[in-house]
Amino acid sequence: MHIEKILDVSNELFDAVNQLVPQLGRHKIAPAREELTLLVHSECSTLWIARYPDETGSIAGILTLALYRVPTGLRSIVEDVVVDQTLRRRGIAAALLRNAIAFARDAGASGVALTSNPQRRAANLLYQSLGFEPRDTNSYFYKIK
H-assigned helices in 46-91: none
In a domain, 68, yes or no: yes
Report yes or no on 136 lying in a domain. no
Q: Is the bond leading into 118 cis (omega within 30 degrees of zero)? A: no
- List, for residues 90-122, the tens digit of each pLDDT value: 999 999 999 999 999 999 999 999 999 899 999
pLDDT of residue 32: 98
**Residues 45-60: what's their mean pLDDT?**
98
- Has residue 125 got a pLDDT over 90? yes
What does the alpha-carbon distance between residue 95 and residue 53 come to, in Å, rounded to a whole number?
A: 12
pLDDT of amino acid 69: 97
Q: How many domains is the chain partitioned into structurally?
A: 1
> Is the residue at 141 inside a domain?
no
Confidence band of 26 (pLDDT split at 50, 70, 90): confident
Section 81-87 average pLDDT? 97
**What pLDDT shows up at residue 53?**
97
Does 134 reside within a domain?
no
**pLDDT reading at 42 higher than 90:** yes
Q: State which residues form the domain around 32.
A: 2-129
The whole-angstrom separation of Cα 142 and Cα 90 is 36
- CA 55 remoteness from chain centre: 19
Of the pLDDT bands very low, low, confident and very high (cuts 50, 70, 90), residue 46 is very high
**Angle at which helices 92-107 and 121-129 pack, to 10 degrees?**
50
Burial (CB count <10 Å: 0-12, 13-18, 19+), residue 106? exposed
| Burial class of residue 12 (count of CB atoms within 10 Å of its CB; 0-12, 13-18, 19+) | exposed
- Predicted confidence (pLDDT) at residue 44 exceeds the cutoff of 90: yes
pLDDT at 131 (0 to 100): 98
- Would residue 144 count as lying in a domain? no
- H/E stretch holding 132 reads none
The β-bridge partners of 83 are: 61
The verdict on residue 139 lying in a domain is no
Phi, psi of 77 (to 5 degrees): -145, 135
Which CATH number characterizes residue 43's domain?
A: 3.40.630.30
Distances (CA, A) of 58 to 1, 17, 77: 10, 12, 26
